[in-house]
Amino acid sequence: MYTAPLDDMQFLIDDVIDVSRTLGSLQRFAEVGVGPELTTAVLDEAGKLGSDVVAPLRRVGDAHPARCEDGKVSIPPGYGEAIRELGAGGWVGISADADAGGQGLPEIYGTAASEIWNGADMAFALEPFLSSGAALAIKAHASEELKATYLAKINSGEWSGTMNLTESGAGSDLGPVKTRAEREGDHYRIFGQKIYITWGDHDATENIVHLVLARLPDAPAGSKGISLFIVPKYLVNPDGSLGARNDAYPVSTEHKLGIHGSPTCVMAYGDNDGAIGYLVGEENNGLACMFTMMNEARLKVGLQGIGASEGAYQKAVAYARERVQGGVAIIEHADVKRMLTTMRALIEAMRALAYTEAVTMDLAHYGEGEARNENRRRIDLMIPVIKGWCTEVGVELTSLGVQVHGGMGFVEETGAAQYLRDVRITPIYEGTNGIQAADLLNRKLARDGGAAMEAMQSEISAVIAELDSAPLASLQALGRALASALADHVTTTQVLLEQMGTDRFNAMGGAFDYMMQTGYLFGGWQLARSALIASQQPADSPRADFCRRKVATAEFYGARILPRCKAHAGTIMDGATTLSDFQLDWL
């Protein structure tokens, strides 16, 4: 059974990141009391909900997938009650404005809670994820009237939200969207069909607020002619009560590799008289409105990779302690220990990176002056790394979890394979990882000539300098490993920036390796920060054993994981033209 790793989370938030210092001075959080006491309260309650309420649903949802019959979706037993409990506890809008139904807490607390829901049951965690994303888009772009009608209800968990982008002919490229909107007085009529709509229908909340991309009759062609609409499942009366059923219905649910408990729907709009919709933002500006929530959404997808990996790790460790082979528990076998330690080191690296940049997100939103702009550039740069690297590693680690179980991992009854099946979607949705890599190189790196990346490389250099003077020889060795990986990263950054102007195809062919190289380097940087702080704890501290483990984990990462950076660098440096030289008709 899943147990939230609260000790590691609190150490990160209060010791390494030090939220009372980094966020406590922001006006946004002046009355919140950001610091260890708040961290403990939030994590303890989230941990209990994750372990006691959500985690028992993981296998239930897998064995009893969401179904659609006669235009109505049924969800797995227990999901509805848990979703309502999540909403009642204020978790959906944990980081949303207090005057709009939220709790007004820093994003890092929402990040930690989201990891817990995903570690407990990723299919379940998608419901609050989609709702918070819909609320962000409404807050940023909707009229005051629409905000007053919908925002507090979503943030409070009373209503839920969805994103309706994809169609059969419009996926990563939304230009060909065919769903249409027709003007009708103060609203619009929506006609069309959307696919892959996560939590598209259910009865867990009173209403579902669909955000739908559609095209007006006189709209420009392509992505510049798409508008965004609120299309509620039930229309809302002027007094806020629910009115008639809107013409928006589920047609079916997808039969998927994983996340069975999450209803992924085909949604039909306007099969009868047309679904009533309300414009969000300006006409023909819908894609820009949707992108408002992309940074948060992609951070949350990265957390899915972390959460699923943590769940798989806990299950694998428990099995390895119990399973006897050759007269000893298999956890004593060198290769099993290698796999488990690899899982632990990468999970802690991913968590540290994601949590650190969750703080950057708040600084980008609520900071002041040039520092705010710098943090905006930084979070824009980091989001494709967090989404792409954490989900790729998530697939690797959940696969290792199956491997630790041996043959029993291939048997569904153990539940080990579910983590791998569930997390496999994460490198695909919210922009495939190929798109994340291209975004990192083509837009985020190239737009300022690598200046934002250079600033982060400088931060790593500062940590290396601290490691060089550390009293522990093992930390000095970590510093040398990190320095070597950083030097390679500086070189590949410069090479790819130059290639973007001279050999764009082959530069983009190295983008994925660059994203992964960046992730492994930054993960090592974050573990080094943690190790430096842990190494300063007194030997008689109650956390002494925890801190020794933190140092040892960083040492393992430096010796066993950081060398992956060199492999990715080698691919970029030595394999540049091999992709373009390979003929398409040879494939």
Residues 16-47 pLDDT 10s: 999 999 998 899 999 899 999 999 999 999 99
Question: pTM of the predicted model, to two decimals?
Answer: 0.97
Q: Distances in Å between the alpha carbon of 53 and those of 56, 261, 511? A: 6, 15, 41
Closest CA to 303 of 114, 163, 136: 114
Give the residue with greater pLDDT, 575 vs 118.
118
* Euclidean distance between CA atoms 100 and 139, whole angstroms: 9
Closest CA to 15 of 558, 544, 532: 532
CB within 8 A of 545, min separation 6: which ones? none
pLDDT band at 577 (very low <50, low <70, confident <90, very high): confident
pLDDT band at 112 (very low <50, low <70, confident <90, very high): very high
Map tokens 């974050």 to a residue. 526
pLDDT band at 359 (very low <50, low <70, confident <90, very high): very high
Per-residue confidence (pLDDT) for residue 37, from 0 to 100: 97
* Euclidean distance between CA atoms 308 and 386, whole angstroms: 15
Q: Distances in Å between the alpha carbon of 519 and those of 220, 385, 454, 525? A: 39, 6, 15, 10
Q: Distances in Å between the alpha carbon of 452 and those of 107, 449, 543? A: 22, 8, 36
Per-residue confidence (pLDDT) for residue 539, from 0 to 100: 84
- Would you name the residues annotated as active-site residues? 430
Residues 520-552 pLDDT 10s: 999 999 999 999 999 998 888 899 999 999 999
pLDDT band at 295 (very low <50, low <70, confident <90, very high): confident
- What amino acid occupies position 471? P
Other CB atoms within 10 Å distance of the CB of residue 48:
12
The mean pLDDT value for 555-575 works out to 95
The mean pLDDT value for 456-473 works out to 96
- Token digits for 536? 């300063």
Q: Is the pLDDT of residue 433 over 90?
A: yes
Q: Is the pLDDT of residue 575 over 90?
A: no
Per-residue confidence (pLDDT) for residue 181, from 0 to 100: 97
Residues 261-275 pLDDT 10s: 999 999 999 999 999
Per-residue confidence (pLDDT) for residue 175, from 0 to 100: 75
Q: Is the pLDDT of residue 576 over 80?
A: no
Q: Is the pLDDT of residue 259 over 80?
A: yes
Express as a percent the part of the chain with pLDDT over 70: 100
Map tokens 């510049």 to a residue. 224
- Cβ atoms 251, 204 nearer than 8 A: no
Q: Distances in Å between the alpha carbon of 194 and those of 73, 171, 190, 264, 421? A: 16, 10, 12, 11, 24
pLDDT band at 290 (very low <50, low <70, confident <90, very high): confident
| Segment holding 278, helix H or strand E | strand 275-280
- Cβ atoms 106, 23 nearer than 8 A: yes
Closest CA to 210 of 298, 269, 122: 269
SS3 call for 71: coil
Q: Are strands 207-214 and 159-164 parallel, antiparallel or unpaired?
A: parallel
- Cβ atoms 515, 585 nearer than 8 A: no
Residues 310-354 pLDDT 10s: 999 999 999 999 999 999 999 999 999 999 999 999 999 999 999
- Token digits for 151? 């925002």
The mean pLDDT value for 90-118 works out to 97
Write the DSSP string, 227-244. EEEEEESEEE-TTS-EEE
**Rounded to a whole number, what is the distance in angstroms from the first to the last CA of the chain?**
45
Handedness of CA 171, 175, 180, 183 (dihedral sign): positive
SS3 call for 168: coil
- What amino acid occupies position 196? Y
pLDDT band at 170 (very low <50, low <70, confident <90, very high): confident
> Biggest alpha carbon distance in the chain?
77
* Euclidean distance between CA atoms 366 and 359, whole angstroms: 11
Per-residue confidence (pLDDT) for residue 169, from 0 to 100: 83
- Token digits for 333? 């076998």
Per-residue confidence (pLDDT) for residue 1, from 0 to 100: 86
Express as a percent the part of the chain with pLDDT over 90: 93
* Euclidean distance between CA atoms 156 and 468, whole angstroms: 49
